[in-house]
């Protein structure tokens, strides 16, 4: 009996709200709608045709032919069922449709038997009513295709009329509102002179030539002038130069459009300072419409503008802080790669000549130095406070420069050899003592050497020279490589800066090495400069550092052999870490020192093993899955015989809060991974006498 019946997603409240926006209900008949229903009745051969809209409790007819009424109760409506359809409702015989059982219009006069209604709906699918035709005779065949097309087309015209009417209504409402505003503006103008002296905002009036003809006390106070000083002045004379064009444009717009205008501008005060203000302009016209001047309400917004500037500065500061953080993290991949190179070479050497004791000792010492440097770098990277303020805290001591250079050359040697370069050293005679962070200065020199190796074609030459210059020392790294174009020299030390043109090969890296060099050198009170004769002419980098005021013997870079500090008593040691490799490697190293070791990989296993094993000391990881290190430590203290066991927290968490928490949990010591074997042996050495 119906076509395209679907469940709707709209609510009745939404539908009625949409209907109200069209302001159509209870309006007078209109020829355009009347013509459509007449045409519908004629084209579809129907005695009745209606444009109807469904209100909350009634069906109202904007146009009808054949009914003779303008509305009827919603309970008698046929069209209310059409709203539930997608597009159209066709009822071939109301007597056969249960929806119309007992409907007085179908079973009483006028005896309506056939209904076809095309839904009138908004662009977002809200149905408001129908264009329908009704017959007193059933039509078993329904609508022909041509009739359906005609009904659909006419319904579209109804909807176009509704939309057009709504547009006209909205425009009239807008025009009415504008007229009201203009009337209110005129009334305000008429009263203006009576209230201007009492206004809480600045008020200023100019004539057609732009001269000040009226100012109130508030405006005078805002600019620091007396009233007599201002009257007769050109408005532009007290307007800041940056706001002159804005003021002229606003006045021209207000005059041309005969409406008010709002402009933000700067006034120049009597003392020469500037005041930000919002000026609301109103145009004054004579009886014949000629422009006679303007009135402006002026509000001081200097403080709000300053607040906006502060917010913008805060946003810029936050962006800069975020950039510093990003820059800091960007050094990770670049800087951790340097010590890995000699470690990798050392592993290869051990693989090729591992039975040579002297070679093994040399490689071991080198690897220990490089691992120590990596730990230092990781400690710096994990210091969140230094990220936020853009600082790296130096660990200064009196150090000997030639020893630092040897360490830097050792780090960079694999890169230099990989390029087939020849490195020439020219060191100064005698000791050169610096008050510096040895690791950071080695990092500076290594970065410069790596940079030279990277941007020098295979088989090139790199010179590293050191010479005194008064109270300073100069460290220069020269190469005969690709060079630096003159236009790039000024930015070569900037973060992420790389010389990309004239390169015959791809260059890796993040562009952070030279930026880090400059920052580290400046933190030591020094300077760094770059020079080049241009592309293909090589480059020269010179670091200038202040000499220390007093000489000292540089502490040896080689660590004390852990075996030399081994305790004289064999200890029973428990290692608990969910990282199986880490636990086994530490246990193996301790076993090589002559201790008896046992490993566990969960907190619960550690407790079970400890009861049987009876360790003298336990090394506990904090982040174990079942019981964390703090819980495990507390539980170990409750085991009979282990109340005084030495507990060592061995973890990657190493700030002061972590150390304090470990102490509160009962740990005797706190070591940060990777723990130095010498540090562990010192702890065990202190334990041995007490255990013996």
pLDDT of residue 351: 76
Res. 254: pLDDT tops 50: yes
Domain assignment of residue 354, yes or no: no
CA-nearest of 115, 27, 88, 16 to 63 is 27
Domain assignment of residue 273, yes or no: yes
Give the residue with greater pLDDT, 557 vs 267: 267
Domain assignment of residue 144, yes or no: yes
The CATH number assigned to the domain holding 259 equals 3.30.450.20
DSSP letter (8 states) at residue 200: S
Token pair of 500 as six digits:
């990309």
Identify the domain containing residue 39 by its residue range.
12-169
Rg (CA), the chain: 45
Give all strands (DSSP E) within 427-555, no chain letters.
Answer: 433-436, 461-469, 472-479, 527-531, 539-546
Question: Which residues are CB-neighbours of 206 under 8 A, at least 6 positions away?
Answer: 212, 213, 235, 293, 294, 296
Using a 10 angstrom Cβ sphere, with 0-12 exposed, 13-18 middle and 19 or more buried, the burial of residue 48 is buried
Reduced to 3 states, what is the DSSP secondary structure of residue 58? strand
Give the residue with greater pLDDT, 553 vs 546: 546
CA-nearest of 562, 612, 605, 563 to 580 is 605
pLDDT band at 473 (very low <50, low <70, confident <90, very high): very high
Question: Which residues are CB-neighbours of 597 under 8 A, at least 6 positions away?
Answer: 572, 573, 574, 575, 587, 588, 590, 591
Q: Give whole-number Cα distances, 444 to 288, 335, 450, 488, 561, in Å.
A: 82, 11, 10, 21, 28
The CATH number assigned to the domain holding 78 equals 3.30.450.40
- Whether residue 34 is found in the same domain as residue 159: yes
Please give the Cα distance from 273 to 211 (Å, whole number): 22
Total domains, the chain: 4
Please give the Cα distance from 323 to 661 (Å, whole number): 32
State the residue for tokens 């090139």. 460
Q: Average the pLDDT over 670-687 and give the result.
A: 82
Question: Which residues are CB-neighbours of 287 under 8 A, at least 6 positions away?
Answer: none
Domain assignment of residue 656, yes or no: yes
Domain assignment of residue 501, yes or no: yes
pLDDT of residue 324: 54
Res. 486: pLDDT tops 90: no
CA-nearest of 82, 434, 242, 193 to 91 is 82
- Long-range contacts for 206-209 (Cβ within 8 Å, ≥24 apart)? 206/235, 206/293, 206/294, 206/296, 207/292, 207/293, 208/291, 208/292, 208/293, 209/234
- Whether residue 453 is found in the same domain as residue 595: no
Domain boundary residue among 125, 148, 169? Answer: 169
- Whether residue 627 is found in the same domain as residue 530: no
438-454 helix and 401-418 helix, angle to the nearest 10 degrees: 30
- Whether residue 121 is found in the same domain as residue 216: no
Q: What is the pTM of this model?
A: 0.35
Q: Are 443 and 335 in contact (CB under 8 A)?
A: yes
Please give the Cα distance from 490 to 530 (Å, whole number): 9
Please give the Cα distance from 400 to 185 (Å, whole number): 84
pLDDT band at 498 (very low <50, low <70, confident <90, very high): low
Give the residue with greater pLDDT, 34 vs 626: 34
State the residue for tokens 């890169």. 415
CA-nearest of 450, 446, 478 to 462 is 478
- Whether residue 82 is found in the same domain as residue 163: yes
Q: Average the pLDDT over 170-184 and give the result.
A: 88
- Whether residue 578 is found in the same domain as residue 534: no
As a whole-number percent, the residues of the chain with pLDDT over 90 amount to 40
Number of Cβ within a 10 Å radius of residue 468: 13
Domain assignment of residue 365, yes or no: no
Domain boundary residue among 126, 151, 169? Answer: 169
pLDDT tens sequence across 644-674? 999 999 887 767 788 888 999 899 999 887 7
- Whether residue 627 is found in the same domain as residue 682: yes
- Whether residue 537 is found in the same domain as residue 580: no
The CATH number assigned to the domain holding 504 equals 3.30.565.10
Domain boundary residue among 546, 578, 595? Answer: 546
pLDDT of residue 588: 82
Res. 441: pLDDT tops 90: yes
| Least reliable range by pLDDT among 184-193, 309-318, 404-413 | 184-193
State the residue for tokens 């970065």. 447
Question: Which residues are CB-neighbours of 485 under 8 A, at least 6 positions away?
Answer: 499, 501, 502, 532, 534, 535
- Whether residue 593 is found in the same domain as residue 524: no
Q: Are 53 and 26 in contact (CB under 8 A)?
A: no
Please give the Cα distance from 56 to 414 (Å, whole number): 87
- Whether residue 573 is found in the same domain as residue 650: yes
Please give the Cα distance from 683 to 573 (Å, whole number): 12
Number of residues that this document lists for the chain: 692
pLDDT of residue 509: 41
Domain assignment of residue 529, yes or no: yes
Domain assignment of residue 687, yes or no: yes
State the residue for tokens 């709906």. 121
- Whether residue 17 is found in the same domain as residue 110: yes
- Whether residue 475 is found in the same domain as residue 576: no
């Amino acid at each position: 009996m119906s076509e395209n019946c679907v469940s709707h997603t709209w609510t009745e409240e939404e539908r009625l709200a949409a209907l109200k926006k069209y302001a159509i209900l209870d309006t007078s008949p209109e020829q355009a709608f009347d013509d459509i229903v007449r045409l519908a009745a004629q084209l579809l051969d129907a005695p009745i045709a209606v444009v109807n809209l469904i209100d909350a409790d009634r069906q109202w007819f904007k146009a009808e032919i054949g009914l003779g009424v303008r509305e009827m109760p919603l309970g008698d409506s046929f069209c209310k069922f059409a709203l539930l359809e997608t597009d159209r409702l066709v009822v071939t015989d109301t007597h056969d449709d249960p929806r119309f059982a007992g409907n007085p219009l179908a079973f009483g006069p006028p005896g309506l038997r056939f209904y076809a209604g095309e839904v009138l709906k908004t662009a977002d699918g809200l149905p408001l009513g129908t264009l329908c035709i009704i017959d007193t005779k059933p039509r078993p065949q329904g609508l022909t295709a041509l009739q359906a097309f005609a009904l659909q087309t006419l319904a579209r015209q109804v909807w176009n009329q509704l939309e057009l009417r709504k547009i006209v209504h909205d425009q009239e409402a807008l025009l009415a509102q504008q007229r009201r505003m203009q009337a209110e503006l005129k009334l305000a103008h008429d009263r203006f002179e009576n209230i201007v002296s009492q206004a809480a905002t600045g008020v200023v009036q100019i004539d057609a030539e732009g001269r000040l003809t009226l100012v109130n006390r508030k405006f005078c106070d805002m600019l620091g002038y007396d009233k007599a000083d201002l009257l007769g002045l050109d408005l532009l004379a007290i307007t800041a130069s940056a706001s002159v064009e804005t003021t002229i444009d606003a006045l021209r717009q207000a005059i041309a459009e005969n409406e008010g205008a709002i402009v933000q501008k700067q006034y120049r005060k009597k003392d020469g300072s500037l005041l930000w203000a919002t000026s609301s302009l109103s145009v004054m016209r004579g009886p014949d419409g000629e422009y006679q001047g303007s009135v402006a309400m002026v509000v001081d917004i200097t403080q709000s503008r300053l607040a906006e500037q502060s917010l913008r500065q805060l946003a810029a500061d936050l962006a800069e802080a975020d950039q510093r953080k990003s820059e800091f993290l960007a050094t990770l991949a670049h800087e951790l790669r340097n010590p890995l190179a000699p470690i990798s070479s050392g592993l290869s050497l051990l693989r090729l000549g591992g039975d040579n004791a002297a070679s093994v000792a040399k490689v071991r010492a080198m690897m220990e130095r490089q691992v120590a440097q990596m730990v230092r770098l990781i400690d710096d990277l994990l210091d969140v406070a230094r990220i936020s303020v853009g600082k790296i805290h130096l660990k200064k001591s009196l150090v000997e420069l030639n020893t630092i250079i040897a360490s830097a050359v050792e780090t960079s040697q694999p890169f230099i050899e990989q390029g087939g370069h020849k490195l020439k050293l020219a060191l100064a005679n005698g000791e050169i003592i610096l008050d510096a962070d040895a690791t950071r200065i080695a990092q500076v020199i290594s970065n410069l050497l790596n940079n030279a190796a990277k941007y020098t074609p295979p088989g090139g030459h790199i010179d590293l020279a050191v010479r005194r210059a008064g109270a300073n020392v100069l460290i220069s790294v020269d190469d005969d490589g690709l060079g630096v174009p003159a236009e790039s020299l000024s930015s070569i030390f900037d973060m992420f800066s790389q010389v990309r043109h004239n390169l015959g090969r791809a260059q890796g890296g993040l562009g952070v090495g030279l930026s880090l060099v400059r920052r580290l050198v400046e933190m030591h009170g020094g300077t760094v400069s770059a020079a080049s004769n241009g592309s293909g002419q090589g480059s020269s980098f010179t670091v200038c550092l202040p000499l220390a005021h007093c000489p000292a013997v540089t502490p040896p870079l080689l660590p004390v052999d852990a075996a030399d500090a081994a305790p004289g008593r064999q200890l029973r040691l428990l290692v608990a870490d969910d990282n199986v490799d880490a636990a086994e490697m530490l246990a193996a190293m301790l076993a090589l020192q002559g201790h008896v070791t046992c490993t566990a990989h969960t907190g619960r296993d550690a407790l079970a093993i400890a009861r049987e094993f009876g360790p003298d000391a336990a090394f506990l990881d904090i982040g174990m899955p079942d019981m964390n290190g703090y819980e495990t430590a507390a539980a170990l203290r409750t085991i009979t015989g282990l109340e005084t066991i030495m507990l060592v927290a061995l973890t990657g968490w190493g700030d002061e809060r972590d150390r304090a928490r470990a102490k509160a949990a009962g740990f005797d010591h706190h070591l940060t991974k990777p723990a130095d074997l010498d540090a562990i042996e010192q702890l065990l050495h202190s334990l041995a006498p007490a255990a013996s």
